[in-house]
Amino acid sequence: MAGPWILNAVPSNINDSDKNIVIKLFDLNLDAPFFEVKHEEALYLNFKFSIPSGIARTGYELLLISVILTEEHTIFNWRKELQNLSEQIKNIPHILEIFSHKNKTSPIIQMKISKIDRFLRQAINKFEEFEGDHPYGQLLFLGIEAVGKSSIIELLRYGTFSPKIRPTLGTQILRAAIEHFQFQIYDVGGQKAIRQTWFKDCHKPDAIIYVVDVSSSETRDFEFKEEFERVIQQYFPTPASFESNHIPILILLNKSDLVEKEKSESLIKKFSQLFNVNQLPMPHSMSLVSVKENIGVLSAFQWLISKKLME
């Protein structure tokens, strides 16, 4: 582990082409302030934020915090951590001074620099503690093909919607961090021919996420219902199976971006009736979400975590 380093200008000892790359990073016009760049073996997690500035024409200066990871460490929720860091840094009075002041040896500047250094080290320590942890629980994602299961998992893992995801052929076991809790994730393939494998790998899930696509034609409703009932029979076989009745089930009605907003309520009503949710014995929740527009997904999982924490 190297660093942290605080740089207040492009370092003079790097060559011109690297210098241009660094400068361009600040010019990237990304909607999300958080962006990842993969370069050779390393993954660069970047978070861009602004601080007020009396000397800049725009009235603000941009700061970039980057974490460079050399292995697959993205299960830690860096997104949240970097956001916290930016808040801590912004709260230091006259923070711009440390980057613009000519006299870097002044005690006040030194004090501010060491404060930022401490915040950065605290974040790294959290990450190292987290790495030693065991997975918090197993999440099983189910649902027929192309409803968006893998896309949801991608959003949880990397914070982005990736339109290029391929159909899942078999069960993928992955890890993801949600709100600083680690989960082992079972992503099954939903195509008809492989649905019989759904329950083979994860015998005791800690939570089930059942996904449907609200934009699909009504002719699929029966299939959504039939497969949902098969899941319930598998994990909650008889009313007496109270032992398993604490496993929460989260029903995600995905692709809400493809339906009119006015239909939201009627869709929730329709699927509540279709799945008979009022009769479900376990903790359950139904949310209308869009992975593409990142709407509702994180709050739905916050509900799930709150259920697990209450056990």
Ligand X SMILES: Nc1nc2c(ncn2[C@@H]2O[C@H](COP(=O)(O)OP(=O)(O)OP(=O)(O)O)[C@@H](O)[C@H]2O)c(=O)[nH]1
Question: Going residue by residue from 186 to 215, which x/- string records binding to ligand X, judged by CB under 6 A?
Answer: ---xxx------------------------
The least distance separating Mg ion from the CB of residue 172, rounded to whole angstroms, comes to 8
Contact 203, 250 (CB under 8 A): no
Q: Does 174 bind ligand X (CB under 6 A)?
A: no
Phi, psi of 3 (to 5 degrees): 90, -170
Give the Cα separation of 175 and 79 in Å (integer).
Answer: 16
Q: Does 147 bind ligand X (CB under 6 A)?
A: yes
Give the Cα separation of 198 and 187 in Å (integer).
Answer: 9
Q: Does 167 bind ligand X (CB under 6 A)?
A: yes
Burial of 256 (0-12, 13-18, 19+ CB in 10 A): buried
The least distance separating ligand X from the CB of residue 134, rounded to whole angstroms, comes to 26
Buried b or exposed e, range 107-132, using 16+ CB within 10 angstroms: eebeebbebbeebbeebeeebeebee
Q: Candidates 99-107, 139-147, 236-244, 275-283: pick the segment binding ligand X (CB under 6 A).
A: 139-147
Q: Candidates 9-17, 53-61, 145-153, 173-181: pick the segment binding ligand X (CB under 6 A).
A: 145-153
Of the pair 42, 258, the CB lying nearest ligand X is at: 258
Report the residue from 225, 246, 257, 298 that binds ligand X according to the rule CB under 6 A. Answer: 257
Q: Candidates 13-21, 101-109, 231-239, 249-257: pick the segment binding ligand X (CB under 6 A).
A: 249-257
Q: Does 146 bind ligand X (CB under 6 A)?
A: yes
The least distance separating Mg ion from the CB of residue 148, rounded to whole angstroms, comes to 8
Contacted entry of Mg ion, ligand X, none for residue 148, CB cut-off 5 to 8 Å set by kind: ligand X
Joined together, the tokens standing for residue 217 give: 């034609």
Give the Cα separation of 61 and 142 in Å (integer).
Answer: 45
The least distance separating ligand X from the CB of residue 100, rounded to whole angstroms, comes to 43
Q: Does 168 bind ligand X (CB under 6 A)?
A: yes
Give the Cα separation of 169 and 188 in Å (integer).
Answer: 8
Q: Which residues bind Mg ion (CB under 5 A)?
A: 149-150, 168
Q: Candidates 59-67, 113-121, 147-155, 266-274: pick the segment binding ligand X (CB under 6 A).
A: 147-155
Q: Candidates 26-34, 53-61, 69-77, 146-154: pick the segment binding ligand X (CB under 6 A).
A: 146-154
The least distance separating ligand X from the CB of residue 266, rounded to whole angstroms, comes to 19
Contact 133, 175 (CB under 8 A): no
Joined together, the tokens standing for residue 11 give: 């370092």
Phi, psi of 148 (to 5 degrees): 115, 20
Q: At what angle do helices 149-158 and 297-309 cross, to 10 degrees?
A: 80
Burial of 91 (0-12, 13-18, 19+ CB in 10 A): exposed
Taking the CA atoms of 198, 199, 200 and 204 in sequence, report the sign of the dihedral they define. positive
Report the residue from 36, 61, 97, 145 that binds ligand X according to the rule CB under 6 A. Answer: 145
- Under the rule (CB under 6 A), what is the footprint of ligand X? 143, 145-151, 163, 165, 167-168, 189-191, 254-255, 257-258, 290-292
